[in-house]
Structure 1
């Protein structure tokens, strides 16, 4: 009897232990279930994305320059299943940009790298997008409208983006003056027929005031498929927004970008696995967007300035930034976490220097654009020359005018000799070689007194002020010639150099060694 009672007691204990274990397992499953609901559908790989990224663009460029092989630029096959290439701020130019020693960017290199990627990873589907400011909004000072060469250059950008097959092009406020021209009803119909990429210009918060202009798409849906996706298409939704900035045009209204994203998001989310916002906003507004509209998976951001900002997670949202003028191409890699059913993302950047071969078709288009632009800019320069005859020797605020370096030689012979043997004395030749000697985007750092009273206008009317001469740094010297005892021309190093020798345009610039070459 005692044995039977002991057996029953043991059975009761075993049943109790079993019930406790089952209850614990159910609680654990409930916790996991709740936890999985709070986790994002897309997660940034922060441990590799942020810890290894340099703190600013200069350090970044130097680090990338050490990767001297194409294999290093293409990166390792790390299991990605898709990619999104992104850039921005090309400012109406298809050209490379920067110091002749190491010019970066350019549409042909951008497309050349994407072609190399497709050859290296033929089973990885990809998309190509622009974050904004792809047009120039430089105005003619005499009319206030877009300059003639700007209009021509912007039209070539449209043709290039059609040829490069961009999947989504975000509109910034800088793009709206040109958009006012090409989205007029008749012009828009022509563009749709010739360059259908205009249908992929998008903005959720830019709308025309009148029916005479077409409206950009508020969002776009793109579907990727391929071997690495294992028969399960990846649907990506793009929403575009911009800040209003200094846009004062009458053709469009720019509304609150956060309100626009918030109102569109449920509709896009219903049809997309991953939601990407292309945002031309200030860094502060980008942070606010990520925190207040938390169901956005990725923000590909453009701050419109030459800053290097690290990719990072802000709440549930992964934020990566375009590099100014697309001197580096952004590459967002996507990975599928099969175990947890989520997407992971990681942004990397590719330096578009001379190691990257040009895409032949894009380079041919760029060369054709350069020929037409050179002709237009020459005509504008000749027109400016005629106008300059009516306003010879305009004075600066102190009444001083530019006289040219030859006027400095009699008293400063040794300094003049140093200058003639320096790169500054041949700065204009680099523009002539590139057929950009009349390009306003370049002239300021290759001539003397550009856009200053009495300064360089063009090579026809003011040839004595081409190149970076003495007065480019020291200021107009006519008053100094009249009275050499007057205080004049003190320039600090490097503060006198960095307006042109920026980290983006002159990544090899180092004040001590550069100053040693021109010390006088």
Structure 2
């Protein structure tokens, strides 16, 4: 195994109740090139909204998320990027024409600006079942290639759907990865925490997250150098996942309700994603000469100082017009 041990360096991040505008430039937020071999850039909880949030400090949106990734790649040319969606990217109330159009626009966006790993949250499953229906599946997967990047180890799909993989392995090459001589294999296991409908009731759309995780984690671990659990769950649940799956190097809790200081559970690092897709998670991986891995974690506000990608901004504008015409 290439990973001999795990050490963690984390930029302190805390959730604050009243978000104030970040005055640092994007270049300052990105920081200096300190030799990162790889970056995992992630977000979650878009809820079908490609626009910036309608709040006192507008942030988020497809165009800024794409703009951040492009700015990162431009500044850190020797640091390859793996993009991850943590879950709840579709609007949950599928089946209504307006909502289905909104979700279709998200699927088209994630196909045009590819996200390497897309974890399914519990609220994504209603529309995803439509995407994964066996009838016409091959054609849809060609038209919407984001379908091929979906993962879930505990979502329940019936026989009329093509269930997504429980995990994916992404192979990444770069000059800072084993001196460019071989690729780094990163495994991503996808999980979703169930809703809690009430005493004596059970969420039948997903199986028990903790019971489902272990066999998939053990299988994925044999195929990769670094293993990441992407779980649309609360922080306490993520800490439990880390404690029960010590084979994982990272757990990303994408329904934690805020950004918190990274936690360490044994050799497993636990980080969180922002609510509402308003910030970009930026997790950088470093390899020393012995193949040992360490991490640094930061988050960046997707505010007006992050350049909007022009093509993505045009897509969002056209999508808005399509929704207005459909009313």
Matched residues in 1 for 2:37 and 2:236: separation? 32
When the two structures are superposed, what TM-score results if normalisation uses the length of structure 2?
A: 0.91
Aligned to 1:98: 54
> Are 2:192 and 1:242 equivalent residues in the alignment?
yes
Q: Could you say what the CA RMSD is over the residues aligned between the two structures, in angstroms?
A: 2.1
Aligned to 2:122: 173
Matched residues in 1 for 2:104 and 2:16: separation? 30
SS of the aligned residue for 2:28 comes to helix
| Number of residue pairs aligned between Structure 1 and Structure 2 | 319
Query: Could you tell me which of 192, 197, 202 is aligned with 2:141?
Result: 192
| Higher helix proportion (structure 1 or 2) | 1
> Are 2:103 and 1:161 equivalent residues in the alignment?
no
Matched residues in 1 for 2:205 and 2:50: separation? 28
Aligned to 2:169: 221
Matched residues in 2 for 1:309 and 1:179: separation? 30
Aligned to 1:352: 302
The answer (yes or no) to whether the contact 1:301–1:322 under 8 Å persists in 2 is yes
Query: Could you tell me which of 32, 57, 61 is aligned with 1:76?
Result: 32
- CA 246–163 in structure 1, closer or farther in 2 if over 3 Å, else same: farther
Aligned to 1:312: 263
Deviation at 1:309, TM superposition (A): 2.1
Matched residues in 1 for 2:224 and 2:8: separation? 18
Matched residues in 2 for 1:165 and 1:226: separation? 20
Deviation at 1:361, TM superposition (A): 1.9
Aligned to 1:291: 243
Query: Could you tell me which of 215, 220, 235 is aligned with 1:268?
Result: 220
The answer (yes or no) to whether the contact 1:43–1:318 under 8 Å persists in 2 is no
Q: Map Cα deviations across residues 82-134 of structure 1 (whole Å, 9 max, x no partner).
A: 100000000011000133x6310001100001001111111111100111000
When the two structures are superposed, what TM-score results if normalisation uses the length of structure 1?
A: 0.58
Matched residues in 2 for 1:94 and 1:366: separation? 6
> Are 2:279 and 1:343 equivalent residues in the alignment?
no
Aligned to 2:15: 56
| Higher strand proportion (structure 1 or 2) | 2
The answer (yes or no) to whether the contact 1:207–1:216 under 8 Å persists in 2 is no
Larger Rg: 1
Matched residues in 2 for 1:155 and 1:297: separation? 34
The answer (yes or no) to whether the contact 1:163–1:362 under 8 Å persists in 2 is no
The answer (yes or no) to whether the contact 2:235–2:272 under 8 Å persists in 1 is no
Query: Could you tell me which of 14, 18, 23 is aligned with 1:66?
Result: 23
Which structure has more RCO (C-alpha within 8 Å, separation ≥ 6)? 2
Matched residues in 2 for 1:207 and 1:275: separation? 23
Aligned to 1:403: none
Matched residues in 2 for 1:274 and 1:337: separation? 14
Matches within 5 A, 1:368-447: 368-376=318-326, 379=327
The answer (yes or no) to whether the contact 1:89–1:304 under 8 Å persists in 2 is no
Q: Map Cα deviations across residues 358-417 of structure 1 (whole Å, 9 max, x no partner).
A: 1122112111111111222xx3xxxxxxxxxxxxxxxxxxxxxxxxxxxxxxxxxxxxxx
Deviation at 1:253, TM superposition (A): 4.5
Query: Could you tell me which of 218, 233, 243 is aligned with 1:281?
Result: 233
Q: Map Cα deviations across residues 425-479 of structure 1 (whole Å, 9 max, x no partner).
A: xxxxxxxxxxxxxxxxxxxxxxxxxxxxxxxxxxxxxxxxxxxxxxxxxxxxxxx
Matched residues in 1 for 2:161 and 2:295: separation? 37
Name which of structure 1's ranges 123-132 and 355-364 shifts more when overlaid on structure 2.
355-364
Aligned to 1:466: none
> Are 2:256 and 1:300 equivalent residues in the alignment?
no
